[in-house]
Chain A
């Protein structure tokens, strides 16, 4: 079993839709949870990070962490074609990041 599981997609939605991206994990020691966005042939860029359980909002993006269920989510409101990318969840383990496999998102105009 992988430490971090993420549905690879692709996920195709119309412009303006609410997008829900999710990851599950097995290691209860993880404390920091990150979401990265990666455009094709580019390095990942950090969207949000959350410490422990709870919600965090930044503009159109909301990150949720449920440590009891070992489940994290990223919601994107009013999705735009420019949001089309691969979204990777990542978790901090002793200063190393463990990444999910990434979900490809396509927002159709």
Chain B
């Protein structure tokens, strides 16, 4: 099956620093990638939709300047949390979309746990 990786899997940083998370589709090309955020014991909340070569589309309430998304190639999207604060601590998960007929299946990465001190 299609494999999506994320790096790093776990990061701790000081308040005010920026953190970059990479999402890669390893064995397929993904024109669309998604970024989600998940708080403990809660569901996945879509943050933004990332299309290769174009600007990301952010969901309502997600700060574009705080969560910078770059989708530079068909296999790589990055999420940068700028000037991170403790409230940004969360589990960040990406997914990459593989079109199967009319159904766009999303394959999820293993997630990145961010802890901001």
A interface residues, Cβ below 8 angstroms from B = 6, 8, 32, 36, 41-46, 49, 51, 88, 92, 95-97, 99-102, 104
Q: How far is the CB of A74 from chain B (nearest CB, A)?
A: 16
Q: A6-B43, A92-B103 are in contact. List 8 more A-B contacts (CB 8 A).
A: A41-B111, A43-B4, A43-B108, A43-B110, A88-B43, A97-B44, A99-B44, A101-B42
Contact status B111-A46, CB under 8 Å: no
A-B contact pairs, 27 of them (CB 8 A): A8-B41, A32-B103, A41-B111, A41-B113, A42-B110, A43-B4, A43-B6, A43-B108, A43-B110, A44-B44, A44-B108, A46-B106, A49-B103, A49-B105, A95-B32, A95-B49, A95-B97, A96-B34, A96-B46, A97-B44, A97-B46, A99-B43, A99-B44, A101-B43, A102-B41, A102-B42, A104-B41
Nearest-neighbour CB distance to chain A for B36, whole angstroms, equals 8
In whole angstroms, what is the CA distance A42 to B10 when docked? Answer: 11
Question: 4 smallest A-B Cβ distances: which pairs?
Answer: A43-B108, A101-B43, A99-B43, A43-B110
Residues in B whose Cβ lies below 8 Å from that of A49: 103, 105
Size of the B side of the interface (Cβ < 8 Å), in residues, is 25
Do B91 and A45 have beta carbons less than 8 Å apart?
no
Please give me the residue from chain B that is nearest to A6 by CB atom.
Answer: B43
Complex Cα–Cα for A94 and B111 (A): 24
Contacts of A8 in B (CB 8 A): 41
- Smallest distance from the beta carbon of A105 to chain B beta carbons, Å? 14
Question: Using Cβ atoms and an 8 Å threshold, which residues of chain A touch B49?
Answer: 95-96
A36 to B97, CA, bound (A): 15
The residue in chain A whose Cβ has the minimal distance to the Cβ of B91 is: A41
- Report the minimum CB–CB distance from B2 to chain A (whole Å): 10
